[in-house]
Amino acid sequence: MKKNIIEIKKIIKKKVFKDLFFIIAGSFLFSVAINFFIVPSNLYNGGFLGLSQVIRYILAKYFYINFGGFDISGVLYFLMNIPTVYLAYTKLGKSFFIKTMVSILANSIFLSIIRSPEISILKDILSSCIIGGIVAGFGMGITLRAGGSGGGLDVIGVYYTKKYPDFSVGRISIAFNLFVYGTCALLFNIQTVIYSIIYTAFSYLICDKTHYQNIMVTIMIFTKVDGIENLIFNKLNRGVTSWQGSGAYTREDTKVLLTVASKYEANVIRKNIKKIDANAFIIINEGVSVIGNFEKRL
């Protein structure tokens, strides 16, 4: 039992460093997509970053502020996220706060230091939308898979979903992006808005394919090894129901564990269970509906 607990602690520590690496890598890819494909094409992101880009344009155009080649949108993005970081710290837990803070810092730094080319890499603006959306969506997806978030609407969505189970994150995202792109329509032209929306749609599509966090599964585990329930408690912070079973053929006692998690969490826990008990028998059933005290994570 003690040996299993030590092994579980090692797995958790290794997972934390792995998560932080992927959060930073995802932030880097996202920033590369923005500064190499979207900014040179004079397009705009949605969310807090999109609002930061609009403010940057207004400061340069109407207040004649010269930033000397430095992209101030990364700094503005960080400042906007201060309230959401505080919300994550006070309401959403230490782990989520740390990963969100790392993600926001990485995004802000990369967006500021990665210089955009004066001329778009791709001559065709639609190609820039698609390639930029693919790279940005993949970056966002691996950040979310590692348990981080880009701050802004992500944090607000997680908070209200925890507080109100029927809350729709999509609605608040659509409402905010309507404001951002409505402002773009007033400042620029409808073509800029249309291509920006195409980019955003592609990025969300790729992000969704990369990060399958909202697909719920049931996980049933048959094992003779103690301590696996602690792995689920500590690694996923999910509840577990357990009962004592018996093999119909062997007549040997076995422990049966049942939990509900996201498809992503199921893959994580499956790999780690095999490290503790190579003979564990695991059944994963996808696409279940959950009613009751279940925490939906975004």
Residue 51 in domain: yes
The secondary structure element, H or E, covering residue 88 is helix 82-91
Note the pLDDT of residue 10. 60
Number of domain units in the chain: 2
Note the pLDDT of residue 117. 86
From the number of C-beta atoms within 10 Å of its C-beta (0-12, 13-18, 19+), residue 124 rates as exposed
In this structure, the answer to whether residues 230 and 196 fall within a common structural domain is no
Residue 293 in domain: no
In this structure, the answer to whether residues 71 and 178 fall within a common structural domain is yes
Could you say which of 152, 183, 210 is where a domain stops? 210
Interhelix angle 263-276/228-236, nearest 10 degrees: 140
Residue 69 in domain: yes
Residue 251 phi, psi dihedral angles, 5° rounding:
65, 15
3-state secondary structure of 284: strand
Question: Domain with 232 in it: what CATH number?
Answer: 3.30.70.120
In this structure, the answer to whether residues 136 and 107 fall within a common structural domain is yes
Residue 146 phi, psi dihedral angles, 5° rounding:
-85, 5
Could you say which of 157, 191, 210 is where a domain stops? 210
Model-wide pTM > 0.85: no
Calculate the alpha carbon distances from 223 to 37, 50, 245, 254, 278 in Å. Answer: 50, 50, 10, 6, 9
In this structure, the answer to whether residues 89 and 179 fall within a common structural domain is yes
In this structure, the answer to whether residues 181 and 247 fall within a common structural domain is no
Residues of the chain with pLDDT below 70 are 1-14, 68-69, 161-162, 164-171, 211-215, 287, 291-292, 294-298
In this structure, the answer to whether residues 161 and 41 fall within a common structural domain is yes
Note the pLDDT of residue 297. 58
Owning domain of residue 250? 213-286
Tens digits of per-residue pLDDT, 8-19? 556 556 677 888
Tens digits of per-residue pLDDT, 112-166? 888 888 877 888 899 999 999 999 989 988 887 787 777 777 777 777 766 766 6
Q: Which two tokens stand for residue 266?
A: 């199921």
Could you say which of 183, 210, 237 is where a domain stops? 210
Q: Which two tokens stand for residue 114?
A: 């990665």
In this structure, the answer to whether residues 26 and 166 fall within a common structural domain is yes
